[in-house]
Amino acid sequence: MTSDAFFERINRQFLRELPFVVYRKPNQTLLQGFLQKTAELHTTKDFSNTGFVFSPFDSKNATILIPQEDSEQIQCETFEPEIEFSGQMKEDFIEDEDAKESHMQLVAQGKALIEASDINKIVLSRKENIAVKNSDPLLIFKRLLSKYQSAFVYCWYHPKVGLWLGATPETLVKLEGKQFSIMALAGTQKYEGSLDVSWRNKELQEQQYVTDYIVDRIKSAVDNIQVSDVQTVKAANLLHLKTKIWGTLKDTSFSLKDFLFHLHPTPAVCGLPKDKAMQFILDNETYDRKFYTGFLGELNMLASKAPRRSKRNIENRAYGSTQNSTQLYVNLRCMSLEDSHASVYVGGGITSYSDPEEEWQETVSKAMVIKSVL
């Protein structure tokens, strides 16, 4: 499909107030869309369905599904991101002193609890409301596509839920048949032109908590677990620390739902121990995160597997095969859009090393990822 036809089809869907999601995976050019045929609100409880899921931070709330069987699927391979656009840049930005004061207070409160208890880390966040000059979601989506090649970029809409857009650097889990990979991403500093930077103990420790937690949560369900070295990766105007964890699922009976909720929410978005950090977040953040720090992506899709190279297996070489594929991303660097108002969601990991002023600055830098396309 041409990109004009692709975007026109989605625009029609939006004007008819029917659910859809459009997205591009990291470092790919293919745009994909699920366009639901009815306005029904589908959810999944057991994660056995096929389609696109949108799951909130608080797993007590429902995961929304755009089912493959109730959707038209469209694709566009020829989209050329063209727009050079610099929306709200740092210079236009007037610091909101009240927001700063309350975020710093929240951080100080979290830090005090960490120092006085067995909690090691709490991820604390805030929501920023912004008036948007042009609130056409597909225009904003195109700007995100142009600016953030290495992110998972999406625009998701359901008339009964709302409109969300984002460009997230974090994969929650990729599952291809029995092979899985998971990303532990945490620690932030500004990108100043080089990946060759040094990291303080604060960031190294907060990222290590995420890796250790993931390994601990999945080790009984997997074979040959492998853990990469910690790498510095660039995400928009920021650098993060990343570890890749991969391996093979054991052949015993496997529940995708149990696997996911064993992981989610990881200490990259919640904290450690999970339940205590979650309770602090629910009691003290003064807004509802909704889908920010939840996860989203393709669920149980059939994907073609590369043909085997073995000389003996001529049949497989010729045809390859298909396998079940699930690719889920953590919903970071995102916003919800209502009429001409955007809510931008940003947070950061708090440990005993945290400085409230620096944590505020980190959320300001993270907010620029979205503000620069508005």
Ligand X SMILES: C=C(O[C@H]1C=CC=C(C(=O)O)[C@@H]1O)C(=O)O
Interacting residue ranges for ligand X, rule: CB under 6 A: 123, 125, 170, 185-188, 240, 268-269, 332-333, 346-349, 366
Buried b (16+ CB within 10 A) or exposed e, 187-221: bbbebeeeeeeebeebbebbbbbbbebbbebbeeb
Q: How far is the CB of 100 from ligand X (least distance, A)?
A: 16
CA distance 228 to 273: 24
Q: How far is the CB of 246 from ligand X (least distance, A)?
A: 19
**Sequence-distant (≥ 6) Cβ neighbours of residue 335 within 8 angstroms:** 164, 165, 166, 342, 343, 344, 345, 370
290 Rama sector, left if φ>0, alpha if ψ -120 to 50, beta otherwise = left
Taking alpha carbons only, the member of 25, 42, 113, 47 closest to residue 262 is 47
Q: How far is the CB of 293 from ligand X (least distance, A)?
A: 6
Cα–Cα distances in angstroms (integers) from residue 219 to residues 191, 225, 263, in the given order: 34, 7, 11
Q: How far is the CB of 346 from ligand X (least distance, A)?
A: 5
Helix (H) or strand (E) holding 201, with range, is helix 201-218
Nearer to ligand X, 206 or 298 (CB): 206
Nearer to ligand X, 203 or 298 (CB): 203
Q: What amino acid is encoded at 175 in this protein?
A: L
Nearer to ligand X, 170 or 298 (CB): 170
Q: What amino acid is encoded at 366 in this protein?
A: K
Q: How far is the CB of 218 from ligand X (least distance, A)?
A: 19
341 phi, psi to nearest 5 deg: -120, 130
Half-sphere exposure of 188 (CA within 13 A, CB side): 24
Nearer to ligand X, 33 or 349 (CB): 349
Nearer to ligand X, 29 or 228 (CB): 228
Nearer to ligand X, 85 or 199 (CB): 199
Nearer to ligand X, 29 or 237 (CB): 237
Q: How far is the CB of 347 from ligand X (least distance, A)?
A: 4
Both structure tokens of 137: 């979601």
Q: How far is the CB of 206 from ligand X (least distance, A)?
A: 6
